[in-house]
Amino acid sequence: MTLRNIITLPNPVLKRKARAVTKFDGSLRALIDDMVETMRDAPGVGLAAPQIGLSERIAVIEYFEKEEDEEKEDALKKVWAVINPEIIKASPEMVVGVEGCLSIPGLLGEVERHVEIQVKALNRYGTPVRIKAAGWLARIFQHEIDHLNGVLFTERAIRVWQPQEETAVDAEQEV
């Protein structure tokens, strides 16, 4: 596995709509493994392929599957690799949360997101999967799918600001 370089603004790849993946082979799976390693190293809870300079519809996420697990000490995070993901259902209920992005260092913003979503995607083998997500996990999926459409959280934010210190940024906000 190899750590990939995370690109930042103003790299134009971040503003581009990424292309769909059509080939599910060993090199795709190696790329996904690199993305997971890069996300963990950052550290962050999500990473989209455009963030490593690849304009392809691939994202990885590592977070708690159930909202209640966020409070449990022994709960394990789950890893998702989603290819060509699409939001097929979104709750009308919205919630505001504070997000950051590995590609926009030193900035946080308040962003309104759907509380619950359903995502249709392909897994690393090209098999269709459906994922139901709520709360922070739903937020991460929405943030990553935005990346695949060239949309950054700063474009959706109600307000953005620079935190006083680097340490003020929580790793779970970095997607």
Reading the block at residue 115, the tokens are: 């509380």
Least CB distance to Ni ion at residue 47 (A): 8
Q: Identify whether 144 is a catalytic site residue.
A: yes
When asked if residue 101 is in the footprint of Ni ion (CB under 5 A), the reply is yes
Q: What are phi and psi of 126, to 5 degrees?
A: 90, 10
Least CB distance to Ni ion at residue 108 (A): 12
Question: 37, 30, 57, 60: which is closest to 47 by C-alpha?
Answer: 60
Which residue number, 24 or 98, has a Cβ lying nearer to Ni ion? 98
The residue nearest Ni ion at its CB is 101
Which residue number, 102 or 131, has a Cβ lying nearer to Ni ion? 102
Least CB distance to Ni ion at residue 60 (A): 12
When asked if residue 175 is in the footprint of Ni ion (CB under 5 A), the reply is yes
Which residue of the set 56, 62, 99, 144 is catalytic?
144
Reading the block at residue 89, the tokens are: 């259902």
Non-local (6+) Cβ contacts of 2 within 8 A are 34, 37
Amino acid in the structure at residue 171:
A
Contacts of Ni ion in 35-74 (CB under 5 A): none
Compute the distance between CA of residue 111 and CA of residue 116 in angstroms, rounded to an integer: 15
Interface residue list for Ni ion (CB under 5 A): 101, 175
Catalytic positions, written as ranges:
144
